[in-house]
């Protein structure tokens, strides 16, 4: 395993710990595993099996839009992007801001002339992409299928050992 | 107790009444033409994205220091709950809740988050006679529970049935509702806790006018996905939180019969003539009475007694 590098995102500190292996299929370097720990206060970090998803999908552009140089799956994107060239920015976090709702970002909104003025934030980019596809291919879609709750998570959701005691309230109210 | 005493309230009403008499025309004009504060914040809620995880409910509970829920927030059996023949609604212990709706012609159920919609011209505000409510320039509809006398007019006035009442509180029952996390977040420019917690970005936070453009762009780019309507753009004069849906809004439990004009418009014509009634009518009808009864006081008395005799 060669340690390829970790990308620290200002604010949320999304770390891409990855091992880059030259795998033949697209003659392209990509991380085998990506550890996503931006919600680590509530959940254990998620280890995303990138290699498995590369094998499972027909085209990188199904997740990476027009950035990987493997064409464009979405016809709408293809109107502007031909997707034949690999771009410098490929990782989700390169375009999907981890914290677009910060007061600073809100007061400096995307200018009107920028077409992509409605990008989901990083957390939503992950979930919309993952759950959206998993629904189609019968992949896991439940929260805890990917996220194991920490103790703080149980406390937040009032679940597990922090679950409300049945006897404390008259049920069936 | 800092609640308003009866004497203070009556004094305030008298002063308010006097002030109203001086400016009836202005008041009447202002209502219905107000389109929200230009820099007011809002939230675009895209129902097509919601997966019903209830994280927003947990975030609200934590942020607002609400009491322990009766079921864990990762317990999805709440979607099957029916209270008094209705799905769950907001309470004094839960300022936001998510409900599930089975929609015709689709396999996927639709989830809908319910909370205060922070109207441009809130009916709760106009119905409140102690002025407990306030629409802030940031876009939140907040209230001062210290002056709330617990009359519950706002609960009846609200077209979305949002304000809840702390019935369990014996000594000081007051109204409770979502305040857009005004105290802890919005006034510092931060999004409310529910918005930040959402994994799917069902809710997008920003200036209402910017979000409205985005809402229409989403419909334009995905005409096959969305119903061609932004619920809350015009309803009851416009709301700070507004909705996109892939199913007809009435199937997701929305009231689609609401007027496009603010609720205050229903009564503003009437309210505008109240000062006139109070000032002119007493003098006018006293005058009529005096004219009509001039020199006839005995005759009137006679007629009256005559009627009475006949009646017996």
Q: Which domains does chain A have, with CATH numbers?
A: 3-147 (3.90.10.10)
Kindly state whether residue B177 falls inside one of the protein's structural domains. Answer: yes
Is the CB of residue B302 less than 8 Å away from at least one CB of chain A? no
Cross-chain residue pair B58–A163, CB shorter than 8 Å: no
Same domain, B136 and B190: yes
Same domain, B212 and B195: yes
Closest alpha carbon within chain A to B206 = A106
Smallest CA-to-CA distance from B112 within B251, B256, B228 is with B251
Helix ranges (H only) for B222-296 are 265-292
Higher model confidence: residue A44 or residue B172? A44
Is the CB of residue B209 less than 8 Å away from at least one CB of chain A? no
Q: How much is the pLDDT for A35?
A: 92
Q: How much is the pLDDT for B274?
A: 77
Kindly state whether residue B224 falls inside one of the protein's structural domains. Answer: yes
Cross-chain residue pair A107–B201, CB shorter than 8 Å: no
Q: How many domains does chain B have?
A: 2
HSE-up of residue A151 (Cα within 13 Å, Cβ side)? 0
Whether the CB-CB separation of B113 and B120 falls below 8 Å is answered with no
Q: How much is the pLDDT for B34?
A: 60
In chain B, which stretches have pLDDT less than 50? 1-2, 20-32, 301, 304-312
Higher model confidence: residue B112 or residue A18? B112
Same domain, B22 and B158: no
HSE-up of residue B198 (Cα within 13 Å, Cβ side)? 29
Geometric angle at alpha carbon A48, from A46 and A51, rounded to 5°? 165
Task: Identify the helix (H) or strand (E) that includes residue B219.
Answer: helix B208-221
Closest alpha carbon within chain B to A107 = B189
Is the CB of residue B58 less than 8 Å away from at least one CB of chain A? yes
Mean pLDDT in residue range A25-50: 85
Same domain, B175 and B282: no
Kindly state whether residue B198 falls inside one of the protein's structural domains. Answer: yes
Hey, of A74, A118, A154, which one would you mutate to test binding to chain B, going by the most B CBs within 10 A of its CB? A118
For B85, the domain range is 32-263
For residue A28, give the 3-state DSSP assignment. Answer: strand
Whether the CB-CB separation of B166 and B174 falls below 8 Å is answered with yes
Same domain, B201 and B287: no
Kindly state whether residue B83 falls inside one of the protein's structural domains. Answer: yes
For residue A3, give the 3-state DSSP assignment. Answer: strand
Phi and psi based region of residue B40 (left: phi greater than 0; alpha: psi -120 to 50; beta: remaining): beta
Render pLDDT for A111-167 as a digit per residue (tens, 0 to 9): 667 788 888 989 999 999 999 999 999 999 999 999 999 999 999 999 999 999 864
ipTM for this model: 0.77
Using CA atoms, how far apart are residues A28 and A64, in angstroms rounded to an integer?
14
Same domain, B131 and B195: yes
Same domain, B19 and B161: no
Domain with B252 in it: what CATH number?
Answer: 3.30.70.20
Same domain, B150 and B282: no
Kindly state whether residue B14 falls inside one of the protein's structural domains. Answer: yes
Same domain, B14 and B62: no
Whether the CB-CB separation of A81 and A65 falls below 8 Å is answered with yes
Helix axes B6-22, B265-292, angle to 10 degrees: 90
Render pLDDT for A48-101 as a digit per residue (tens, 0 to 9): 999 999 999 888 988 999 888 888 888 888 888 887 888 888 888 888 888 766
For residue A35, give the 3-state DSSP assignment. Answer: strand
Q: How much is the pLDDT for A22?
A: 34
Q: Residues of A at the B interface (Cβ-Cβ below 8 Å)?
A: 76, 101-103, 106-107, 109, 117-118, 120-121, 123-124, 126-128, 131, 135, 141, 143-144, 156-160, 162-164, 168-169, 171, 173
Same domain, B20 and B103: no
Kindly state whether residue B152 falls inside one of the protein's structural domains. Answer: yes
Same domain, B146 and B282: no
Using CA atoms, how far apart are residues B217 and B260, in angstroms rounded to an integer?
22
Using CA atoms, how far apart are residues B254 and B158, in angstroms rounded to an integer?
14
Taking the CA of residue B311 and the nearest CA in chain A, the distance in Å comes to 57
Q: How much is the pLDDT for B6?
A: 56
Q: How much is the pLDDT for A75?
A: 82
| A·B CB contacts under 8 A | 75
Closest alpha carbon within chain B to A135 = B108
Same domain, B138 and B100: yes
Kindly state whether residue B308 falls inside one of the protein's structural domains. Answer: no
Kindly state whether residue B169 falls inside one of the protein's structural domains. Answer: yes
């Amino acid at each position: 395993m060669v340690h390829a590098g970790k990308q620290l995102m200002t604010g949320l500190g999304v770390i891409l710990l990855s091992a880059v292996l030259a795998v033949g299929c697209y003659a392209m370097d990509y991380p085998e595993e990506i550890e996503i720990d931006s919600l680590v206060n509530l959940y254990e970090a998620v280890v995303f099996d990138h290699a498995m998803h590369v094998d499972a999908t027909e085209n990188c552009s199904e997740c990476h839009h027009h950035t990987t140089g493997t064409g464009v799956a979405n016809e709408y994107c293809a109107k502007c992007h031909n997707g034949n060239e690999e771009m410098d920015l490929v990782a989700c976090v390169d375009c999907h801001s981890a914290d677009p709702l910060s007061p600073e970002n809100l007061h400096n909104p995307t200018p009107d002339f920028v077409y992509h003025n409605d990008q989901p934030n990083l957390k939503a980019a992950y979930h919309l992409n993952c759950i959206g596809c998993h629904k189609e291919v019968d992949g896991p879609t439940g929260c805890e299928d990917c996220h194991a709750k920490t103790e703080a998570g149980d406390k937040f959701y009032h679940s597990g050992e922090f679950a409300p005691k049945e006897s404390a309230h008259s049920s069936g109210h | 107790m800092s609640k308003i005493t009866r004497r203070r309230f009556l004094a305030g009403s008298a002063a308010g009444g006097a002030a109203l008499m001086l400016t009836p025309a202005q008041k009447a004009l202002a209502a219905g033409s107000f389109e929200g504060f230009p820099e007011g914040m809002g939230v675009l809620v895209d129902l097509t994205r919601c997966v019903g995880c209830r994280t927003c409910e947990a975030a609200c509970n934590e942020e607002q220091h609400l009491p322990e829920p009766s079921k864990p927030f990762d317990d999805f059996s709440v979607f099957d709950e029916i209270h008094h023949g209705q799905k769950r609604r907001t309470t004094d212990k839960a300022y936001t809740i998510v409900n599930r709706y089975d929609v015709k012609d689709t396999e996927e159920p639709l989830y809908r988050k319910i909370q205060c919609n922070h109207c441009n011209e809130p009916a709760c505000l106009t119905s409140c006679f102690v002025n407990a409510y306030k629409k802030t320039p940031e876009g939140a509809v907040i209230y001062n529970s210290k002056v709330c006398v617990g009359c519950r007019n706002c609960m009846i006035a609200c077209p979305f049935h949002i304000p809840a009442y702390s019935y369990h509180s014996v000594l000081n029952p007051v109204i409770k509702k979502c305040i857009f996390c005004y105290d802890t977040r919005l006034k510092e420019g931060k999004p409310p806790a529910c918005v930040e917690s959402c994994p799917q970005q069902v809710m997008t936070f920003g200036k209402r006018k910017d979000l409205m453009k985005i809402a229409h762009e989403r419909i334009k780019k995905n005409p096959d996905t969305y119903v061609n309507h932004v619920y809350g753009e015009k309803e009851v004069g416009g709301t700070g939180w507004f909705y996109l849906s892939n199913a007809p809004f009435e199937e997701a439990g929305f009231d689609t019969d609401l007027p496009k004009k603010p609720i205050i418009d229903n009564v503003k014509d009437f309210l505008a003539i109240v000062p006139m009634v109070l000032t002119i009518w007493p003098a006018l009808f006293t005058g009529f009475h005096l004219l009509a009864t001039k020199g006839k006081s005995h005759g009137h008395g006679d007629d009256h007694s005559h009627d009475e005799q006949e009646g017996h």
